[in-house]
């Protein structure tokens, strides 16, 4: 990782994208002690619509606060995947919520069904974003898992700590699996086949 | 107090029952529906139910009294009920709203 | 406030709240508006526990009126808004200038004109901040380009306001207002807090609008025994309306002088690699961040670029710019408007250097590449 | 297409994107339906209707319907509407506003419009909150409730919008709820045909902001509350004031004959014409 | 010096030029006297009084008296006053406005101040016209009367200021006339000691503008009309509404106990303090 | 109006009324304020007999809203005010710019800031007229220095407003507004009256904010079958709110272009002995009258002085001034403010000539001698 | 309805007549007087008259009942009446205002 | 008379100074056909106070509309006489209402008791200004008596024509007398004695 690392998180209105970005930024900035700048953009209409949030990380003071060529793109729905993939740094990482993102712009994407895991494992769609954070902490080096856990626990409502800790763990676990598949696919340099296995989360 | 013509008055006076057999036709326009649950919650005869995503579906068409309340309360114009003659439906609506504590002074 | 060191990841808007409280602001009247609402909300949450007062007024006109009233009662006060509300505040803002009432107005700029683009950033209100109210008047306008600066410059705004008995406007843009950055707030004792000078003479001797050497008369709080008249009419030294030319003239002269005399002190800027710069960017707000990056990139490519970052927008930092006139060949003024501060740059430049503008009004922020591109064009 | 839907679709804009912008279950959509039904019943031509609004969630209503639609500035809808109506009295002018729009920043225009009795219909969607900007208290937020600028509980008295309209001199004032959607379109219909200034206050829920902060539940639960708290004015008039606290008095509160501004101004024109000739 | 005069002179500013600016016979001077007497009776210290006004002939009143005087912008006096009072609730805040100031441009601030019930006293000098700018119609100019912008006869309904204040929720509302100057100072006195928001509407004559254009004669004749048309509220309550047309109902119209804003806000501070500690 | 030749001794304010009626104004909404009240009063007397409408609104915000509404209903409309009211109109003025609604706002300037000097003249609102509303926006501002010009330039204001679908501000000062001069009004047929272009296509084809070659789309009156959405939000060609960069950009670009492209035509000035002038006065309003006299006196003394009198204040008449740059050695800019148009002069001058300001803000008008004095100083 | 202390109430209860002989002292401060005529017009006993310039002068001091109305109604604080004890004057005022149709609810 | 002639009329609020200036300007501008510019200034306070109005006359278009060095000053009260006399053109004419102006700044003034004449001859103070206009038409050449009469009659309320015509005449007559005295005084180059004779108007 160079001195500057850009992350874009995207999805639809209700998916908690901005909270995810805040937690991520707090993990990196407060608990891992780097410089961060977190921004978001609102849709034209106040209600619903799509949501985009960014975190720029650096060892030094951050000048331009927006992601120019994200090093990491998380797309929680198809629309945002389509829209933002083109901005991704050629060497960057794409993580998608495969519950919703079915058409992949690149075979190199990490596909994890965050929402499905949330629904099936926790019966609560709202934790999909925390699961995704867990995955990010595993797949990238920009944030440590420890910092991530601290940041999540500092933000979530009292009484939900265990749930969220579990969600984080589920995310890490899912990411581990996805990474394996990914390495496998990379090795074969071919698109992954639709992964039936994923259904079991 | 009111002196204005109230175009719906005439219609409202017509009433009566219709054969039970005549089934309603309920359409849910999924592209506009936001799964708010209002239609199902206030269907007086529990015709409508919600799927796991919260979207409404017709569970028991037989029970539909074609009151049209689901349609007029849908904030998104996403559900429609094909009904019998206007007059009859109005009579029903009126009854229903009244049972909920409202003397509809407007019509 | 208890002494403590807080490491926070907060928005620019939240930093404004922290700064205001640190500066001693204990009264806030506002009316919600995107993208400034977080300031109102933050104040509504934090002020009461500090013994302060938050009130949501019926509109922005009323908010402006209320903060003037509170300030006259001796309490540091503030409001926050965005374009449409800022337009509505103009009449009472002029009153604060005329009656010399310290107060701070934060305008988190969104896309205009009119309702425009409520959730998109812009720098469209720079000229309005200077000229929005009717009649000639002095005013001080600051800006901020980082979350930390939101904190610091809110304090600076209060300090200038108290010192010069003048409303101070803090212009931030939606990007900075909503951006989160890490700030460390350790109730620093070294933070200088300025309070208005209160009269040291007994009430009988107090002349509320006296022409002091500094040009700023001491200000008495309501209820402390100093009774005088306050009006938006042009007034004499006692605060009574006047139409005497021999009173109007000196009054207006003092109003201008109390700021112009201290222009150098009010001119807050940051020089970044300007000493040897042949190409100087003049920028403020979120654009200054892009500019900094562009300057670094240009330097990497061997182009002698520099950045004059403005904190003070008004009065225009003429002196600071003039220092750079001998060395600068080209000024580049990137702004998220059709060219506002660039007009000042051109005026002060007097044809000496080349002045190049870079304007963007499509709701997106100016990117480092765009500035770099311009630098290369003129290099 | 079923009948009611056909009717609705006759008035919706076909070049505007649906579903509309409001939150799932928001009452504004229900009001929109009621308004369309009322307009259809009175039989106005689309070309003679000017639908004016201010700024807010409620004020996003006009853009979806195929009339002349005028989305103005926050609180000022009635001032624009006044100009429209007086410049061309043949137009049917309808104004839609939120409680903040109408009673906070726009309160003065509202009472003055009521006083002047210019022939237009004002519909206020009262959801007791500033919806669009994220749930700050409005002039109709009840004492003790929470809002994002009143997390310790709101300390002000609330305006009674309809009662203010009556005091300001409005010729027709009615209150309904979006739950009672049929009654609501009836009230709007009466307001539309009334000559002079007419007001309909539509009580609605904003579960996203007001409901969430006050733990009032979903749109459905808030609609239930409307159902349970509505009291027809006829019944309310026989009840003790204390018994009405927290209730929603619905129906036509006032309907009286007053001189209508534009008709009176026509007389001014005549008088002026006579004086000019002299 | 005689007693009353001594009293008046105690409160007048000695460094301000007299005679004052108003036309010979203008009712504002009489109100000034009544206000001074009331203040003297309640025994407020000069240093605790803040007298706030807007813009207009009536709003020129504060400058003559030796309190903290705050001559603000047109219509906005109550907004400044709100800031003063909340920043230092110990101050006694009194606001003086004209009918145009209070009810035209300032109407919204007025109803909101009444609604909030912040502890201050508002005195509105109602002369049914814009005096200062030369006699244009105001929101209280009665139908049919003339004004420099209504030479063909005014066509609007007039606001009833006191009744609007009642509808907006004011805790104390009274109306007097400058003719009944003694009654007036009594009403002001009651308003001053009332906790919460109190309103006194002082009916007055502007013979220079309103009187001249409507051929109502001199100040004396207009004072006679006040004398002849005033009806005490006790009596009025027993009369038919028609019999009250053109009459001035005087006395205390409303006096009720409501939660006072600054006291309620003190509770907010406590609640906030507790929450912050947690 | 019946054809007739009227010789009148009227005030500038009354001439504004006559001009507005001649231009076809049939709706006026206003709120009284010194020194503009005579315009309201005149309109209230004259409009009804012509079938027009006068309404006194509850404030200036409402007045501005009402004239926009009336204009949308197809009726030419106007309001008149002075400083405090003009400040209040700013928000809705921006709406008129955004929604491209023709209308005319007259500001009879009095001394500011705040309530200031209500009965004294000033030229303090020149910058405010350009920048008073939030967000970047185009605007046209005219001025008048004689009673006749009050008549003519009110007509010009309506014409420009209708042609460009933009609010036009007429700034006059208290002196000109209250001065009486003889004017001869003979319902001249040669007076050009421009009306907004109305759509020539059927409603189905009508695109309300289409980018025409001229940049100004035809405008349909309410009630004529052309239904579309009007908003103060940034909108697409159909009038619907948009946040698409590919729509915002072109929209803003057209707004600017529709004025900048016709800048030369909008630049109304009067040259008085400028051809050979080495010293050129740039002045407007009542000061231009003093300047004319001073120029004559200077010429008598053999000093080659000239006067560029501005009718159009905004957009600044850059082109006209640039024509004089080669010959002029010194520009003198006398203004009854602290220097507002002089900033533009300096900017355009780019250091080429000398620019000397002459400012007065004591409520009295600048006298010919004072300008002559300056001329002699620099001669 | 009223619960506030009304400081003048006590005083108002004192009353009674005073010797006719005791003359009032009426001062007219010409520098402030604007000759509006109010004092003279409403003097209940026609003590005051107006000169050709409209300024008031004391025509018949004997008749003065010292009610003080001229003083409190003068918009310019330009006329004063030196009176006997406060209580007595107040009693009179009260009577006078009442005869003019007002029940003074304020005191 | 040169091409430019400046007139300043001054007095107190209720004396009808502005109306006088309007009538004078109409007489000169409309009926005598010259160029005129009429201006006034308002006191600081809206009500009462002193009043000043000016008429500038020229054969050519008028540039500067205010009087710089008035050629004619009419002072209807002492205050305005004191205040404005210093501005008077050295060769200019001063006319005072001797009802109120008792201290003369120059012996060369024309003293006419306009108000007293109005009171005594017409029992109506309000016509003092019309009487003054009559005097001006006689004492100066800037306006013809005929134009003045037309202008007055065009402005005054219906039914008061005769009164005003008489007032004008009285003004002319008074001016004639004052001129005689003035010539006499000029001849003697000494201040006029208080003129008892004037009482009879
Ligand atoms: C002058 C101005 N001030 C503030 C705003 C921000 N604003 C937009 S909508 C709104 C309030 C909306 O509340 P309401 O009218 O009740 O409508 P709702 O969204 O609840 O339907 C506010 C304060 C604005 N657009 N303009
Ligand atoms: C914003 C603004 N608009 C208009 C004015 C002009 N103005 C001054 S006083 C006034 C009205 C005065 O009427 P009112 O309040 O009834 O007071 P009065 O003079 O009758 O006592 C107006 C319109 C102003 N000063 N400021
Ligand atoms: S009410 Fe309408 S939007 Fe809501 S669930 Fe039913 S169909 Fe869907
Ligand atoms: S029409 Fe009535 S009964 Fe039938 S589904 Fe709808 S709400 Fe239920
Ligand atoms: S925020 Fe409230 S008012 Fe706005 S759309 Fe959502 S539910 Fe409706
Ligand atoms: S104009 Fe009217 S209100 Fe103003 S001072 Fe004169 S009489 Fe009084
Ligand atoms: S005190 Fe009474 S009686 Fe005596 S002069 Fe005055 S008003 Fe007349
Ligand atoms: S009331 Fe006062 S101002 Fe009027 S005449 Fe009498 S003393 Fe003079
Ligand atoms: Mg609302
Ligand atoms: Mg008034």
Q: What angle do CA D24, D29, D35 make, to 5 degrees?
A: 175
Number of H helices, E strands in chain A: 6, 6
Instruction: Provide the sign of the torsion angle of the four alpha carbons F315, F320, F325, F329, taken in this order.
Output: negative
CB within 8 Å: F98 and C86: no
Spatial distance between the Cα atoms of F358 and F342, rounded to a whole number of angstroms? 9
Q: Quick check: E22 contacting G, CB < 8 Å?
A: yes
Query: Is pLDDT at C240 greater than 90 in this prediction?
Result: yes
Nearest ligand for residue D60 CA: 1
Instruction: Provide the sign of the torsion angle of the four alpha carbons C179, C184, C189, C191, taken in this order.
Output: negative
Spatial distance between the Cα atoms of C278 and F195, rounded to a whole number of angstroms? 52
CB within 8 Å: F124 and C132: no
Amino acid A48: pLDDT: 55
Q: How far apart are the first and last CA of chain F?
A: 52
Residues 6+ apart with CB under 8 A from C235: C209, C229, C241, C242, C251
- Residue E179, CB half-sphere, CA atoms under 13 Å: how many? 28
Q: What is the H or E stretch that residue A64 is in?
A: none
Q: Which residue has the tokens 């007299």?
A: E18
Task: State how far Cα C107 lies from the chain centre.
Answer: 9
Which of E130, E202, E206 for mutating ligand 2's site (highest number of atoms within 8 Å of CB)? Answer: E130
| CB of residue G47 inside a 6 A radius of ligand 8 | no
Q: What is the pLDDT of residues F43-94, one digit of tens each?
A: 999 999 999 999 999 999 999 999 999 999 999 999 999 999 999 999 999 9
Amino acid H3: pLDDT: 82
Q: What is the pLDDT of residues C171-181, one digit of tens each?
A: 999 999 999 99
Spatial distance between the Cα atoms of D34 and D182, rounded to a whole number of angstroms? 7
Average pLDDT over residues H63-92: 94
DSSP of E200-212, one letter per residue?
Answer: EEEE---IIIIIH
Q: How far apart are the CA of D14 and the nearest CA of chain F, in angstroms? A: 12
**Residues near ligand 2 with C-beta < 6 Å?**
E 55-58, 74, 98-101, 125, 127, 129-133, 138, 206; F 31-33, 60, 84-85, 88
- Residue E55, CB half-sphere, CA atoms under 13 Å: how many? 26
Query: Is pLDDT at G11 greater than 80 in this prediction?
Result: no
Q: Per-residue b/e over F71-83, b at no fewer than 16 CB within 10 Å?
A: bbbbbbbbbbbbb
Residue nearest to atom 6 of ligand 4 (CA): B70
Q: Which residue has the tokens 């006034």?
A: H40
Query: Is pLDDT at C6 greater than 90 in this prediction?
Result: no
Q: What is the pLDDT of residues F34-55, one digit of tens each?
A: 999 999 999 999 999 999 999 9
Average pLDDT over residues F359-367: 94
Nearest to E104 among F48, F58, F84 (CB): F58
Q: How many residue contacts between C and D have a Cβ separation below 8 Å? A: 43
Query: Is pLDDT at B88 greater than 70 in this prediction?
Result: no
Helix, coil or strand: residue F168: strand
Residues 6+ apart with CB under 8 A from E101: E53, E54, E55, E56, E58, E59, E74, E75, E77
Picking from F129, F85, F89, F110, the residue whose alpha carbon sits closest to that of residue F35 is F110
* pLDDT band for position D17 (cuts 50, 70, 90): confident
Amino acid H49: pLDDT: 66
Query: Is pLDDT at F140 greater than 60 in this prediction?
Result: yes
Amino acid A50: pLDDT: 76
Picking from H91, H93, H24, H87, the residue whose alpha carbon sits closest to that of residue H53 is H24
Structure tokens given for E244: 């009250």
Count of Cβ atoms closer than 10 Å to residue F64 Cβ? 35
Q: What angle do CA F149, F153, F157 make, to 5 degrees?
A: 170
Give the residue on H whose Cα is nearest the Cα of C244: H44
Amino acid A192: pLDDT: 42
Nearest to C180 among A22, A42, A63 (CB): A22
Chain E residues whose CB is inside 8 A of the H47 CB are 21-23, 26, 57, 208
Picking from F322, F327, F331, the residue whose alpha carbon sits closest to that of residue F277 is F327
Q: How many residue contacts between B and D have a Cβ separation below 8 Å? A: 156
Nearest ligand for residue B71 CA: 4
Residues 6+ apart with CB under 8 A from D184: B106, D30, D31, D34, D176, D177, D178, D200, D202
Amino acid E2: pLDDT: 63
Residue nearest to atom 7 of ligand 2 (CA): F33
Picking from H61, H65, H35, H62, the residue whose alpha carbon sits closest to that of residue H142 is H35
| CB of residue B48 inside a 6 A radius of ligand 4 | yes
Give the residue on A whose Cα is nearest the Cα of C180: A38
Average pLDDT over residues F342-349: 97
Amino acid D203: pLDDT: 98
Q: Quick check: D129 contacting B, CB < 8 Å?
A: no
Amino acid F373: pLDDT: 98
Instruction: Tell me, in angstroms, the distance from the centre of ligand 4 to residue H153's CA.
Output: 83
Q: What is the pLDDT of residues G39-70, one digit of tens each?
A: 999 999 999 999 988 999 999 999 999 999 99
Spatial distance between the Cα atoms of F243 and D21, rounded to a whole number of angstroms? 14
E112 vs C57, D107, D115, D235, G60, CA distance in Å?
8, 9, 18, 30, 53
Instruction: Find which of E18, E23, E25, E215 to mutate to test the H interface (most H CBs within 10 Å of its CB).
Output: E23
Higher-scoring residue by pLDDT: H151, E276: H151
Spatial distance between the Cα atoms of E235 and E107, rounded to a whole number of angstroms? 29
Q: What is the pLDDT of residues E84-96, one digit of tens each?
A: 999 999 999 999 9
H185 vs H105, H107, H140, H181, CA distance in Å?
15, 8, 18, 6
Picking from H26, H69, H10, the residue whose alpha carbon sits closest to that of residue H156 is H26
Spatial distance between the Cα atoms of E173 and E191, rounded to a whole number of angstroms? 8
Query: Is pLDDT at G99 greater than 50 in this prediction?
Result: no
* pLDDT band for position B21 (cuts 50, 70, 90): low
Strands D68-71 and D49-53, how do they pair?
A: parallel
Greatest extent of chain D over all pairs of C-alpha atoms, in Å = 70
Amino acid G95: pLDDT: 44
CB within 8 Å: H43 and C243: yes
Residue nearest to atom 5 of ligand 5 (CA): D22
Instruction: Tell me, in angstroms, the distance from the centre of ligand 3 to residue H118's CA.
Output: 87
The chains found to touch G (3+ Cβ pairs under 8 angstroms) are E
Name the CA dihedral angle for F128, F133, F134, F137, rounded to a multiple of 10 degrees. Answer: -90
Whole-model pTM: value is: 0.94
DSSP of chain D, one letter per residue?
Answer: --HHHHHHHHHB-TTS-SS-SSPTT-HHHHHHHHHHHHHHHHT--GGGEEEEE-SSSGGGSGGGBSSEEEE-STT-HHHHHHHHHHH-TTSEEEEEEEHHIIIIITHHHHHHHHHHT-S-EEEEEE-SEETTTTSEE-TTPPTT--BTTBTT---SPPP-HHHHHHHHT-SEEEEEESTTHHHHHHHHHHHHHSSS-EEEEEE---IIIIIHHTT--SHHHHHHHHHHHEEEHHHHTTS-GGGGTT-EEEEEEEE-----HHHHHHHHHHHHHHHHH-
Q: What angle do CA C128, C129, C131 make, to 5 degrees?
A: 60
Amino acid H30: pLDDT: 95
Instruction: Provide the sign of the torsion angle of the four alpha carbons C309, C311, C316, C317, taken in this order.
Output: negative
Q: What is the residue-averaged pLDDT of chain H?
A: 88
Residues 6+ apart with CB under 8 A from D270: none
Which stretches of chain H sit within 8 Å of chain C by CB?
A: 43-45
CB within 8 Å: A65 and C178: no
Q: What is the residue-averaged pLDDT of chain F?
A: 96
Chain G residues whose CB is inside 8 A of the E176 CB are 106
Spatial distance between the Cα atoms of B6 and A57, rounded to a whole number of angstroms? 66
Residue nearest to atom 6 of ligand 5 (CA): D23
Helix, coil or strand: residue F354: strand
Amino acid E208: pLDDT: 94
Residues 6+ apart with CB under 8 A from A77: A10, A11, A12, A15, A50, A97, A100, A101
Bridge-partner residues for C331, per DSSP?
C280, C355
Spatial distance between the Cα atoms of D59 and D54, rounded to a whole number of angstroms? 5
Q: Quick check: C66 contacting F, CB < 8 Å?
A: no
Least confident of C4-18, E255-269, G13-27, H64-78: G13-27
Bridge-partner residues for G26, per DSSP?
G81
Spatial distance between the Cα atoms of D233 and C371, rounded to a whole number of angstroms? 66
Average pLDDT over residues E189-214: 97
Residue nearest to atom 8 of ligand 3 (CA): B33
Q: What is the residue-averaged pLDDT of chain D?
A: 96
**Closest ligand 8 atom, CA of G48?**
6
Amino acid B103: pLDDT: 29
Amino acid G96: pLDDT: 45
């Amino acid at each position: 990782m160079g001195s500057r690392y850009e992350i874009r998180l995207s999805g639809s209105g209700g998916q908690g994208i901005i909270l995810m970005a805040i937690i991520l930024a707090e993990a990196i900035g407060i608990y891992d002690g780097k410089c961060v700048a977190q921004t978001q953009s609102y849709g034209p209409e106040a209600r619903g619509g799509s949501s985009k949030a960014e975190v720029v990380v650096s060892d030094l003071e951050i000048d331009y606060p927006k992601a120019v060529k994200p090093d990491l793109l998380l797309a929680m729905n198809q629309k945002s995947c389509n829209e933002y993939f083109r901005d991704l740094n050629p060497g960057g990482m794409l993580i998608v919520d495969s519950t919703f993102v079915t058409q992949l712009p690149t075979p190199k994407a990490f596909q994890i069904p965050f929402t499905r895991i949330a629904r099936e494992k926790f019966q609560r769609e709202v934790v999909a974003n925390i699961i995704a954070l867990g995955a990010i902490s595993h797949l990238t080096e920009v944030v440590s898992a420890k910092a991530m856990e601290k940041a999540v626990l500092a933000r979530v409502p009292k009484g939900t700590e265990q749930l969220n800790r579990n969600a984080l763990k589920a995310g890490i676990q899912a990411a581990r699996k996805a990474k394996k598949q990914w390495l496998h696919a990379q090795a074969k340099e071919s698109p992954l086949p639709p992964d039936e296995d994923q259904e079991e989360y | 107090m009111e002196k204005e013509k109230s175009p719906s008055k005439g219609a409202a006076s017509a009433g009566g029952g219709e054969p039970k057999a005549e089934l309603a036709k309920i359409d849910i326009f999924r592209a506009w529906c936001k799964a708010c649950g209002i239609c199902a919650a206030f269907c007086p005869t529990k015709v409508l139910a919600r799927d796991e995503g919260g979207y409404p579906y017709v569970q028991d068409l037989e029970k539909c009294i074609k009151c049209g309340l689901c349609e007029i309360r849908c904030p998104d114009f996403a559900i429609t009920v094909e009904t019998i003659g206007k007059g009859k439906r109005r009579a029903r609506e009126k009854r229903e709203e009244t049972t909920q504590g409202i003397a509809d002074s407007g019509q | 406030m208890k002494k403590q060191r807080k490491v926070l990841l907060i928005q620019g808007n939240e930093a404004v709240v922290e700064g205001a409280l640190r500066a001693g602001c204990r009264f806030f009247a506002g009316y919600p508006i995107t993208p400034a609402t977080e300031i109102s909300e933050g104040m509504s949450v934090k002020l009461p526990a500090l013994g302060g007062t938050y009130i949501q007024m019926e509109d922005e006109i009323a908010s402006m009126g209320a903060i003037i009233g509170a300030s006259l009662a001796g309490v540091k006060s503030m409001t926050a808004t965005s374009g449409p509300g800022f337009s509505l505040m103009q009449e009472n803002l002029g009153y604060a200038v005329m009656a010399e009432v310290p107060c701070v107005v934060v305008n988190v700029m969104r896309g205009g004109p009119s309702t425009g683009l409520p959730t998109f950033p812009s720098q469209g209100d720079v000229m309005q901040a200077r000229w929005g109210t009717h009649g000639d008047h002095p005013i001080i306008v600051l800006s901020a380009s980082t979350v930390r600066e939101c904190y610091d410059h809110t304090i600076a705004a209060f300090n200038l306001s108290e010192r010069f008995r003048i409303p101070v406007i803090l212009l931030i843009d939606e990007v900075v207002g909503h951006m989160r950055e890490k700030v460390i707030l350790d109730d620093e004792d070294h933070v200088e807090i300025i309070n208005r000078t209160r009269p040291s003479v007994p009430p009988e001797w107090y002349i509320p609008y006296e022409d002091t050497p500094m040009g700023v008369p001491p200000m008495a709080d309501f209820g402390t025994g100093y009774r005088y008249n306050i009006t938006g009419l042009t007034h004499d030294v006692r605060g009574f309306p006047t139409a005497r030319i021999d009173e109007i003239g000196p009054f207006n002269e003092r109003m201008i002088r109390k700021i112009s005399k201290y222009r150098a002190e009010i001119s807050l800027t940051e020089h970044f690699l300007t000493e040897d710069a042949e190409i100087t960017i003049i920028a403020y707000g979120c654009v200054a961040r892009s500019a900094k990056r562009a300057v670094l990139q240009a330097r990497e490519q061997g182009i002698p670029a520099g950045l004059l970052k403005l904190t003070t927008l008004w009065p225009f930092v003429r002196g600071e710019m003039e220092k750079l006139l001998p060395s600068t060949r080209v000024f580049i003024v990137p702004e998220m408007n059709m060219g506002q501060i660039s007009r000042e740059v051109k005026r002060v430049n007097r044809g000496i250097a080349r002045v190049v503008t870079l304007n963007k009004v499509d709701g997106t922020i100016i990117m480092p590449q765009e500035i770099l591109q311009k630098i290369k064009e003129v290099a | 297409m079923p009948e009611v839907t056909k009717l609705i679709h006759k008035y919706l804009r076909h070049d505007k994107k649906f579903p509309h912008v409001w939150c799932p279950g928001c009452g504004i959509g229900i009001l929109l339906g009621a308004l369309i039904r009322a307009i259809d019943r009175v039989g106005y031509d689309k070309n003679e209707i000017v639908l004016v609004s201010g700024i807010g969630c409620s004020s996003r209503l006009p853009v979806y319907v195929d009339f002349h639609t005028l989305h103005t500035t926050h609180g000022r809808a009635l001032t624009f509407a006044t100009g429209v109506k007086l410049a061309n009295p043949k137009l049917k002018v309808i104004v839609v506003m939120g409680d903040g729009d109408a009673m906070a920043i726009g309160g003065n225009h509202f009472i003055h419009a009521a006083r002047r009795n210019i022939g237009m219909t004002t519909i206020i969607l009262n959801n007791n909150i500033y919806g669009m900007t994220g749930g700050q208290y409005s002039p109709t937020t009840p004492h003790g409730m929470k809002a994002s600028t009143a997390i310790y509980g709101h300390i002000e008295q609330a305006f009674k919008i309809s009662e203010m309209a009556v005091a300001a001199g409005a010729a027709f004032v009615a209150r309904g709820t979006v739950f009672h959607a049929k009654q609501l379109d009836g009230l709007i219909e009466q307001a539309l045909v009334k000559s002079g200034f007419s007001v309909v206050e539509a009580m609605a829920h904003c579960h996203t902001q007001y409901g969430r902060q006050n733990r009032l539940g979903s749109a459905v639960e808030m609609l239930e509350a409307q159902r349970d708290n509505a009291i027809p004015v006829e019944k309310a008039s026989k009840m003790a004031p204390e018994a009405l606290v927290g209730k929603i008095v619905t129906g036509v509160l006032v309907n009286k004959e007053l001189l209508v501004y534009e008709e009176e101004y026509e007389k001014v024109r005549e008088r002026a014409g006579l004086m000019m000739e002299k």
